[in-house]
Amino acid sequence: MQYSEGQVGRVFSVRIDDGEDFIREIERFVAAMNIQSGMVHFLGAVRNATLVTGPKDAVIPPAPRAEEIFGGWELLGFATIYPGVEGPSLHIHSAAGKGIRSLTGCLREKAEVYLVIEAVVMEFVGISARRLPDEATGVNLPVFDRVLP
């Protein structure tokens, strides 16, 4: 187990509006505010989005199973922020629901906002971490500065 210790720095409330791409806008905000490490809590709705709902089979490296959602789904989610190879890297997970249907997974590629998504972005200071490609799993994983014995 790896870890790093830090503290909460700045806290932002963010509104992303109808028609905007949530993923692109939250990444743009994080970069503009120069947030190196932190987390995002969010709620709202999307017109359409792509969710990775797990692997096709439980093998390493995984082949992702993607689900497209359309037509106004409610979202509730969480993301972590760490420096990546090309700047801030967000790992975004969300529960999405419409009527009695629901999905949970990794929000990727696109997420067109329906009405609004409200987000709270919390910056962490003092965290020593990077999100880097992992050869064994084939995914980008956070790498921290300490190991728990």
pTM for the predicted model, two decimal places = 0.93
The pLDDT confidence band at residue 65, using thresholds 50, 70 and 90, is very high
Residue at 16 is within a domain: yes
Q: What is the mean pLDDT of the chain?
A: 96
> What is the predicted pLDDT for the residue at 126?
96
The tokens describing 18, both together, are 């109808």
Residue at 75 is within a domain: yes
137 φ, ψ to 5°? Answer: -100, -20
> What is the predicted pLDDT for the residue at 108?
93
Give the domain range for residue 120. Answer: 10-133
- Best CA proximity match to 68, nearest among 53, 86, 78, 87: 53
Task: Render pLDDT for 92-101 as a digit per residue (tens, 0 to 9).
Answer: 999 999 999 9
Residue at 143 is within a domain: no
Task: Render pLDDT for 39-64 as a digit per residue (tens, 0 to 9).
Answer: 999 999 999 999 999 999 999 999 99
Q: CATH number, domain at 24?
A: 3.30.1330.80
